[in-house]
Amino acid sequence: MVQADPGQLEQVILNLAVNARDAMPLGGTLSIDARDVHLDADFAAQHASVPVGDYVMLSVSDTGTGMDELTQQRMFEPFFTTKEDGKGTGLGLATVYGIVQQAGGSIWVESTLGQGTTLTIYLPRLAQDAVAKPAESPERSRRGSETILVVEDDSALRPLACRILESAGYTVACARGGGEALALFKNARKPIDLIFTDVVMPDLSGPEFVQQVADFGRPVKVLFTSGFTDDEILRRGVLNSTASFIAKPYSVRELTAKVRAVLDGGP
């Protein structure tokens, strides 16, 4: 038992699995392991941020290309990526890191060039008599029947966001970037009620995409998302102060509540 959002832990595993797949272009083995562990004083002495105690260990391993030391030092930085343009935003591992930190855990990497990578997460284990809550489902008051266009270039986060919104009753169209989203918007059989788009994307940024949508003359509500906070992207001049925004990582409850609020005319 751990104290964490089930939807966010699903996102962690998806992000790590996608990275492992990309590191094995010629095939290989993906291994996922979860177990209870007790970390003693010897372990804590070598891992300064992990106190002695009981944990749930989650590890994701691949037999892929591995990483050099410089890449390992920067791998959790937002927007740092070793992938070619258009193949990744560099937010996948930054999102994983944020979720693990939010759950009070820690994450460690072991990697050797040509021999693969193992990412190991330690989450504090709760007492045995703790009661598990079921995976969070959208509340009835946050459900809807509108049509939403999701624009997200992160290949792990996109299907997760779409599933969350579909489970809340919405009709959802998913696009990998601004160009694909423009085509979907232009050819949509039903009017799009809400655009839920990432801010930073390689081919066309979220704000640029929304501006091009406005040129069609069809009114549509917009909700932006980013690994940056709204204050940070406001300072960068990417969004205006009236834009609706939700920061990554978001939970099922946070996303469904924010979408419902924007559709109902709230902030």
Mark whether 37 and 69 lie in a shared domain: yes
Scored b (16 or more CB within 10 A) or e, 147-170 reads bbbbbbbbbbbbebbbebbeebeb
Q: Which residues contact 101 (CB under 8 A, 6 or more apart)?
A: none
Mark whether 163 and 247 lie in a shared domain: yes
d(CA 208, CA 183): 14
pLDDT for 132 = 63
Range(s) of the domain holding residue 24: 6-124
What SS3 state is found at 62? strand
> What's the CATH number where 117 sits?
3.30.565.10
State residue 54 phi and psi, 5-degree precision: -95, 135
pLDDT for 89 = 43
pLDDT for 140 = 46
Residues of the chain short of pLDDT 50, as ranges, are 85-90, 138-141
Domain membership of residue 70 (yes or no) is yes
pLDDT for 92 = 67
pTM: 0.57
